[in-house]
């Protein structure tokens, strides 16, 4: 389950918080690429609830991205639900004094307690993430995870140069390597993620118009079909319900 824990400031501090010593760290072969390090989901997102909020924003505002995030949320919920169910059973069947660490070691509790679980503001943030509907405040609080995530891909220009030569043994990936370098040059640092995310949110809001936002009181819900649409569709509603059941712990 440690693969699904968000880092706490640095990998070194994360290993210490999880009880992993240096020998264990050296014993495991780790991927050393952008997708597994600074551009991984676990590094780009502030925490689990940031991802949840952004995913549900996409369910209303950007269907292409929602198709991806819907699958991710479904898989994560299956994992969280299965682990929570097993831990509840272990807790109930344990003899003698109850060991609360069985519960607090669960992944869903780590997500809930990622900030201050006793803080009313933190609890409200969790519910705002689950109920995000692509409004102006939702997009500001839960912006895109990766820079330019909702941007449309430009059509590639046809080339008559033929296929590029690739020599993997000499670390020559042809145009593929250069494309990745260009993308990384354009990618803002993690420290600027929130700023760029908010800029993207403003751009996205401008493209759809304020009249489509949930927070707009001038456009009330007319019927059940309209309400389902405002919540991102039935798939999004079912995922929201599953999350709400989990956070009742």
Domain assignment present for residue 156? The answer is no
How high is the mean pLDDT of the chain?
Answer: 74
Mean per-residue pLDDT, 111-133? 88
Place of tokens 């043994």: 169
**Structural domain harbouring 42:** 2-16+35-147+165-246
Domain assignment present for residue 39? The answer is yes
Mean per-residue pLDDT, 218-222? 62
Q: Distances from the Cα of 72 to the Cαs of 27, 56, 239, in angstroms?
A: 29, 12, 11
Residue 29's pLDDT band, with cuts at 50, 70 and 90, is low
- Which helix (H) or strand (E) segment holds residue 197: the answer is helix 193-208
Q: For 126-182, how does the pLDDT look when each residue is reduced to its tens digit (9 = 90+)?
A: 999 999 999 999 999 999 999 888 887 666 655 555 555 666 666 565 555 554 444
| Domain count for the chain | 1
Domain assignment present for residue 160? The answer is no
Cβ-count burial of 202 within 10 angstroms (0-12 exposed, 13-18 middle, 19+ buried)?
middle
Domain assignment present for residue 152? The answer is no
Are residues 58 and 70 in contact, defined by beta-carbon separation less than 8 angstroms? Answer: no
Domain assignment present for residue 155? The answer is no
Domain assignment present for residue 84? The answer is yes
Which residues 6+ apart lie within 8 Å of 50 measured at CB?
A: 129, 142, 145
Q: pTM of whole model > 0.85? A: no
Longest dimension (CA), the chain: 75
Residue 243's pLDDT band, with cuts at 50, 70 and 90, is very high
Cβ-count burial of 204 within 10 angstroms (0-12 exposed, 13-18 middle, 19+ buried)?
buried
Domain assignment present for residue 66? The answer is yes
Domain assignment present for residue 7? The answer is yes
pLDDT at 93: 87
Q: Does 111 have pLDDT greater than 60?
A: yes
Angstrom distance (rounded) from CA 148 to CA 159: 25
Nearest 5°: the CA angle 236, 240, 241 is: 120
Continuous H helices in 18-158: 22-27, 41-44, 48-61, 63-93, 101-104, 107-112, 120-130, 136-141
- Highest-scoring range by mean pLDDT, 37-41, 87-91, 229-233, 241-245: 241-245
């Amino acid at each position: 389950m440690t693969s699904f824990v968000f880092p706490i400031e640095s990998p070194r501090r994360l290993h210490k918080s999880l009880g992993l010593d240096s020998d264990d760290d050296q014993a495991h072969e780790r991927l050393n690429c952008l997708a597994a390090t600074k551009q991984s989901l676990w590094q780009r997102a502030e925490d689990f609830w940031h991802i949840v909020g952004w995913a549900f924003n996409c369910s209303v505002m950007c269907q292409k991205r929602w198709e991806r995030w819907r699958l991710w949320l479904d898989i994560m919920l299956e994992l969280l639900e299965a682990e929570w169910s097993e831990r509840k059973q272990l807790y109930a069947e344990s003899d003698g004094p109850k060991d609360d660490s069985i519960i607090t070691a669960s992944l869903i509790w780590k997500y809930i307690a990622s900030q201050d679980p006793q803080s009313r503001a933190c609890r409200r943030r969790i519910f705002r993430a689950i109920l995000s509907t692509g409004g102006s405040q939702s997009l500001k609080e839960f912006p895109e995870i990766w820079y330019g995530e909702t941007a449309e891909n430009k059509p590639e220009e046809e080339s008559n140069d033929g296929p590029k030569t690739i020599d993997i043994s000499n670390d020559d990936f042809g145009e593929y390597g250069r494309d990745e370098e260009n993308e990384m040059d354009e990618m803002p640092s993690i420290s600027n993620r929130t700023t760029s995310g908010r800029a993207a949110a403003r751009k996205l809001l401008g493209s759809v118009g304020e009249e489509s936002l949930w927070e707009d009181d001038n456009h009330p819900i007319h019927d059940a079909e309209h309400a389902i649409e405002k919540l991102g569709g039935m798939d999004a509603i079912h995922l929201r319900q599953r999350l709400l059941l989990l956070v009742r712990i």
